Structure 1
Amino acid sequence: MKILKYFIPLLIIACAPGKETKRDRFFMQGNDALSRQDFDKAVAFYTLSLENDPDYARAYNNRGVARIEDGHPYEAIQDYNQAILINPEYHDALFNRAYAYEEVGKYDQALEDINYLKNTFPDSAFVHFYKGLILTKLRDYPSGIASFKTSLLLDSMNMEARVNLATLYFFTDRLDSARQWLRSTLALNPNDANAYNTLSQIYLSEEDYQNALITINRALDIVPQEPYFLNNRGQVYLKMKDYEGALKDINKSILLDPSNAWAYRNKGLYHLAQGEFEEAVRLLKEAEKRNQFIDDLYSYLGEAYLGANQKDLACESWKKGVELNEERSGKMIIKNCQ
């Protein structure tokens, strides 16, 4: 989730009148370019604004937004750092830095920023919700459940929080609780595609492939061509051994969103099922490079290495999976690496 803030300053920071006027003009031009998604121009205008006032925290923040939107999260973090150095209470920059840290897989740093904001805004449903997202990336599911519950106490109609809470119940094998939250969510909003998507994953885990397919198709009826839903339908087809249907959906998912690490994982599983172990390793490593939260990635990577007669690498992968609380990796390492 992106926390993007574009503000034209209301208070004037002391500087020479000529430079002050130029600073504000370049800043507004940067905002205009940002709204048009012309990120290179936005960065250039914010830089000109900063040349006229090097202590203009808002320009650093907005330049960070332009940079992260343009695929440069590390440079964005540097801008947010500078904005916060100038104004330690700049909450918008702290939100944005947490998102940037999340983008590059620095979840501990993201959590540190969110905890600061939680202490500042203890009654913000969104802060607790976002903390739950970060805790999910850290695989601290009990704490994530607690954060989503707190968020829902403050805003019971947050559908994203409801679905994410159900997802964590699913991850912790509390399937009845997960189903209850999803059904109550669908009662409130019968067109919540994310709820159908998660419900499909529950059916998939129970090997009820027909209902898994029905519910993921319902999600796609609501949001056609959604890459994550297409990828998940591909996973259902994999379980049904409809490999042609699986590959078609997974390839379309990657075409629509090349950054979707889950799709690379599932394409790796397709090649694993075909006994094409080297290609499976390549695709699973592609998924790993994207620094996204992916369940059971290392358990499957280890399985692909084992199939490619690289047992040492297989055991290393399963060891990493165990460190990330992958239950399947624990079973694989006991079976193959003792």
Structure 2
Amino acid sequence: MRKFLILLPVLLFACESSEERTQRFFNLGNKALSDGFYEQAIEFYNQSLKETPDYAPALNNRGVARIESDHPYEAILDYNQAIQIDPDYLDALFNRAYAYEEIGQFKNALKDVETIHTLTNDSAFVYFYEGLVQTKMKMYDEALASFQTADKLNPLNPETLINIATIYYFKEKYDTAIHIVNNALELSADNANGFSLLSLIELEKGNYQSALVEVNRAMDVVPGEPYFLNNRGYIFLQMDSLDAAIEDINRSIVLNPKNGWAYRNKGIYKMRQGEYQEAINLFERAIKTREFIDELYSYLGDAYMKLGDQSKACNSWREGVAQNESLSQQKLDQNCD
């Protein structure tokens, strides 16, 4: 009797059509993906695609599993195939844009966003995401226009307002940024991102105690958030509280090893300790994350200068100028031909 019970599912599966097997493996892949078993999900999607090689949803979802398992380039290949099969496949276009963003290919991400614009009616989310990518490219005027369009399409969204305020922060229009953040906080009183941005503004204005108060408000809302920890560590650096700074920065890295800002700030800490080569290693690690990180090449040039390598320092500052870093321009003018 046991043999029949064991063989029965096999016999049932043997009676399935190829289309049914395609869907069964696809559903199993979706379950594994939802549960966080990414390698298992990929294997199920492989089986689904073995039955139906041009099944675009399996290609798209396999791409999701691959990017979740830190294989963005392989994910892009899957999205490419899915889009080739169905050029209007919005999920695959969005996912490919995210993957391009993940590997620092922001121009390609924007190209996908442009395609998405042609396939959807005015969508606040699409303009919002476009603004995020443009911000990473330091296209501040374009990002501001995208966020403002998103705000018109979906008014009173606090996250949109905070991103608009962030652009004004980057443009050094701090009073305007503060006004907009306060509007966002009226809509969402415990918005951690709003407190975090106020902290950064106070830091730029040299009000370190106020900056510390605001970042702690953010951390009261989201305890242990790695970016907030890193920001607090940077404030402590400015206050010359080096032990407190490195404790927060190291905790941030443990919680999010991909946080390029934390590697930059740890590099600044190493500079303060006179460990210039270790600082260079950390700055270069930050560069490899392909994140948008302000004044990174400025600090890298400083470290090379401390080691007496003016040529590499000047090259770093030139790259910083290409990245629209204002401090790099000043240092290039002062130290390089």
Find the aligned partners of 1:317 and 1:118 in 2 and give their Cα distance.
Answer: 37
Contact 2:103–2:290, Cα closer than 8 Å, also in 1: yes
Quote how far apart the aligned CAs of 1:121 are. Answer: 2.0
> What's the counterpart of residue 163 of structure 1?
162
> What's the counterpart of residue 298 of structure 2?
299
Quote how far apart the aligned CAs of 1:174 are. Answer: 1.0
Quote how far apart the aligned CAs of 1:19 are. Answer: 0.6
> What SS does the aligned partner of 2:172 have?
coil
Contact 2:159–2:184, Cα closer than 8 Å, also in 1: no
Answering whether residue 38 of structure 2 is matched by residue 33 of structure 1, we say no
> What SS does the aligned partner of 1:294 have?
coil
Contact 2:233–2:244, Cα closer than 8 Å, also in 1: yes
> What SS does the aligned partner of 1:64 have?
helix
Quote how far apart the aligned CAs of 1:34 are. Answer: 0.3
> What's the counterpart of residue 128 of structure 2?
129
Amino acid at match of 1:69: E
Amino acid at match of 1:184: N
Aligned residues with identical type, % of pairs: 50
Q: Give the structure with higher Rg (CA).
A: 2
> What SS does the aligned partner of 1:320 have?
helix
Amino acid at match of 1:146: A
Quote how far apart the aligned CAs of 1:177 are. Answer: 1.3
> What's the counterpart of residue 205 of structure 2?
206
Quote how far apart the aligned CAs of 1:188 are. Answer: 1.0
Find the aligned partners of 1:196 and 1:121 in 2 and give their Cα distance.
Answer: 34
> What's the counterpart of residue 69 of structure 2?
70
Contact 2:88–2:119, Cα closer than 8 Å, also in 1: no
Answering whether residue 137 of structure 2 is matched by residue 138 of structure 1, we say yes
Find the aligned partners of 1:209 and 1:301 in 2 and give their Cα distance.
Answer: 24
Deviation by residue 1:183-215 (Cα, 9 ceiling, x = unmatched): 111111110000100110000000000100000
Deviation by residue 1:198-238 (Cα, 9 ceiling, x = unmatched): 11000000000010000000001111000000000000000
Find the aligned partners of 1:269 and 1:177 in 2 and give their Cα distance.
Answer: 30
TM-score (norm 2): 0.94
Quote how far apart the aligned CAs of 1:55 are. Answer: 0.9
Contact 2:185–2:191, Cα closer than 8 Å, also in 1: yes
May I ask how many residue pairs the two structures share in their alignment?
323
> What's the counterpart of residue 326 of structure 2?
327
Contact 2:158–2:185, Cα closer than 8 Å, also in 1: no
Find the aligned partners of 2:117 and 2:180 in 1 and give their Cα distance.
Answer: 25
> What's the counterpart of residue 55 of structure 1?
54
Answering whether residue 102 of structure 2 is matched by residue 103 of structure 1, we say yes
> What's the counterpart of residue 234 of structure 2?
235
Answering whether residue 259 of structure 2 is matched by residue 244 of structure 1, we say no
CA spacing shift, 1:122–1:314, aligned 2, 3 Å: farther
Find the aligned partners of 1:257 and 1:157 in 2 and give their Cα distance.
Answer: 31
Quote how far apart the aligned CAs of 1:17 are. Answer: 7.0
TM-score (norm 1): 0.94
Deviation by residue 1:97-120 (Cα, 9 ceiling, x = unmatched): 000000000000000000111232
Find the aligned partners of 1:116 and 1:196 in 2 and give their Cα distance.
Answer: 35
> What SS does the aligned partner of 1:190 have?
coil
Amino acid at match of 1:44: E
Q: Which stretches in structure 2 are left out of the alignment for 5+ residues?
A: 1-14
Find the aligned partners of 1:253 and 1:135 in 2 and give their Cα distance.
Answer: 26
CA spacing shift, 1:285–1:185, aligned 2, 3 Å: same
Quote how far apart the aligned CAs of 1:95 are. Answer: 0.4
> What SS does the aligned partner of 2:17 have?
helix
Q: Which stretches in structure 1 are left out of the alignment for 5+ residues?
A: 1-15
Find the aligned partners of 2:296 and 2:178 in 1 and give their Cα distance.
Answer: 25
Deviation by residue 1:20-66 (Cα, 9 ceiling, x = unmatched): 01000000000000000000010000010000001100000000000
Quote how far apart the aligned CAs of 1:309 are. Answer: 1.1
Find the aligned partners of 1:34 and 1:159 in 2 and give their Cα distance.
Answer: 31
> What SS does the aligned partner of 2:290 have?
coil
Quote how far apart the aligned CAs of 1:332 are. Answer: 0.7
